[in-house]
Amino acid sequence: CALLVAVTLVAALLAATIRGATPLRTAVVGRCRERTAGASPDYCEDAWNAFAAAFVGKDPCNVPPESYDRLMEAAFQKRPCNTTLFWSKTKSLAHAFTEKKRCLLTLEDTLLGYMLDGLTWCGQNGSNGIFTECPCWSCCPDNPVRSFWIRASAAFAAGACGDAYAFMNGSISSPFSSESIFASTEVKNFNYSALNSLTIVLVTRDSSTDACDGASMKSLQRALDPALKYSCRNVPQARVESCISQPDVTCSNCW
């Protein structure tokens, strides 16, 4: 009898896995539903199917960013102008900021970014399974997680219009590092006919640092269209934190 129960349980688990009811699916579809209350009930199922189709059955080192094109078409949402906040080496501060100040949005505040932030996923050649033990970020370039963030960041940057902002880390030697997604993907996908200005908030630990004048930020300026209005502010982290804690201070008054 115990054997029968065990066999039934394993069979049910297998059937659920094949139908795609994995913990990852539950998390992703759940986050999607949280953010799309009122949308068609199929919306998040369709988004999940487009997401899974990008990597299920594929070698986890051979999923290029274009694999997510269909997902982008299905679920990438437009956002208002003047709301884009990029970040590089300042993830937790940027997220703490947008959680309290709704005037700006990071990629992870948009539907797709929210659905997948902090998760890991991959498939395997010849299998319809979904796995969460996967090649690391830089173990092979075309891994499903890295490719997703590259593809989503390209769409996020291309959708930026009006005045955009970036939190960068003024306490490291190369805040604008060629390996970062901000440098390698986002800056290269700006739509200059829609973007009016880019303000860099260079977050410093020591208020006397002037990293805006450094070589790294000069290389960022060279990578931008000269017609784009560029400005860079050295802003002590304590000032950003104090701004986060003051509900009445609007975004642009924080720097």
Positions annotated as catalytic residues are 81, 161
Query: Phi first, then psi: what are they for 200, rounded to 5°?
Result: -90, 125
Counting contacts by CB under 6 A, is residue 186 touching ligand AVW? yes
Interface pick for ligand AVW out of 48, 86, 165, 176 (rule CB under 6 A): 86
**Closest separation between CB of residue 232 and ligand AVW, Å?**
16
**Closest separation between CB of residue 177 and ligand AVW, Å?**
7
Counting contacts by CB under 6 A, is residue 115 touching ligand AVW? no
Q: What whole-number distance in Å separates Cα of residue 25 and Cα of residue 9?
A: 20
Stretch that binds ligand AVW, among 41-49, 67-75, 88-96, 211-219 (CB under 6 A): 88-96
Picking from 131, 127, 157, the residue whose alpha carbon sits closest to that of residue 145 is 131
Q: Which is nearer to ligand AVW, 67 or 180 (CB)?
A: 180
Counting contacts by CB under 6 A, is residue 180 touching ligand AVW? yes
Q: What is the dihedral of CA 232, 236, 242, 246, to 10 degrees?
A: -10
Q: Which uninterrupted H or E stretch holds 85?
A: strand 85-88
Side chain identity, residue 245: S
Helix pair 23-35, 42-55: axis angle to 10 deg: 140
Interface pick for ligand AVW out of 153, 204, 234, 237 (rule CB under 6 A): 153
The answer to whether 110 touches 156, Cβ cutoff 8 Å, is yes
Collect all residues with Cβ–Cβ distance below 8 Å to 24 and sequence separation of at least 6. Answer: 119, 121, 130, 132
Interface pick for ligand AVW out of 51, 97, 165, 182 (rule CB under 6 A): 182
Q: What whole-number distance in Å separates Cα of residue 100 and Cα of residue 97?
A: 6
Query: Phi first, then psi: what are they for 172, rounded to 5°?
Result: -120, 160
Q: What whole-number distance in Å separates Cα of residue 15 and Cα of residue 88?
A: 42
CB closest to ligand AVW, residue no: 137
Interface pick for ligand AVW out of 75, 181, 187, 235 (rule CB under 6 A): 181
**Closest separation between CB of residue 180 and ligand AVW, Å?**
3
Counting contacts by CB under 6 A, is residue 88 touching ligand AVW? yes
- Residues in contact with ligand AVW, counted by CB under 6 A, come to a total of 16
Counting contacts by CB under 6 A, is residue 76 touching ligand AVW? no
Counting contacts by CB under 6 A, is residue 55 touching ligand AVW? no
- The pair of structure tokens assigned to 88 is 């590089």
Counting contacts by CB under 6 A, is residue 83 touching ligand AVW? no
Stretch that binds ligand AVW, among 8-16, 52-60, 83-91, 229-237 (CB under 6 A): 83-91
On the 0-12 / 13-18 / 19+ scale of CB atoms within 10 A, 158 is middle
Stretch that binds ligand AVW, among 6-14, 15-23, 87-95, 247-255 (CB under 6 A): 87-95
For ligand AVW, the binding residues (CB under 6 A) are 86-89, 91, 106-107, 137-138, 149, 153, 156, 180-182, 186
